[in-house]
């Protein structure tokens, strides 16, 4: 694998660019299907860090796909919290 293929796209689930490209090329799948097959976007952040990259991979790997055809969404947290609130410091 090259350095590009080893680049981690989804940090939460440790999914690499190579895994996403090979899965998208092999299955010609939608963004949702790619997410289910690789778990990209299903980690702690809910896809907020990798969603754009996964969308671009789908656009490049699956012919005749436009940005409007990609329904991958991210889930925001229920309510934002500070690190102090989580850690118990006031």
Query: Tens-of-pLDDT digits for all 90 residues of the chain?
Result: 568 889 999 998 999 999 999 998 888 887 778 888 999 888 888 788 888 888 888 888 877 766 555 555 556 656 677 777 777 765
Of 32, 22, 81, which is closest to residue 55 (Cα–Cα)? 32
Residue 12 backbone dihedrals phi, psi, to 5 degrees: -65, -40
Of 3, 2, 54, which is closest to residue 31 (Cα–Cα)? 54
pLDDT at 24: 87
For residue 59 the two structure tokens come to 């656009």
- Is there a contact between 3 and 16 (Cβ–Cβ < 8 Å)? no
**Checking DSSP bridges between strand 15-16 and strand 8-10, what pairing results, if any?**
antiparallel
- Indicate the number of domains in the chain: 1
Can you tell me the distance from the alpha carbon of 76 to that of 47, in angstroms, rounded to the nearest whole number? 9
Q: Which domain holds residue 54?
A: 3-87
pLDDT at 89: 63
């Amino acid at each position: 694998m090259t350095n590009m293929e080893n680049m981690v796209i989804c940090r939460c689930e440790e999914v690499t660019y190579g895994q996403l490209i090979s899965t998208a090329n092999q299955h010609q799948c939608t963004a949702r299907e790619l997410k289910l097959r690789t778990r990209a976007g299903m980690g702690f952040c809910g896809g907020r860090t990798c969603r754009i990259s996964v969308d671009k991979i789908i656009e490049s790997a699956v012919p005749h796909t436009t940005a409007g055809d990609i329904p991958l969404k991210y889930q925001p947290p229920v309510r934002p919290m500070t690190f102090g609130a989580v850690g118990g410091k006031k």
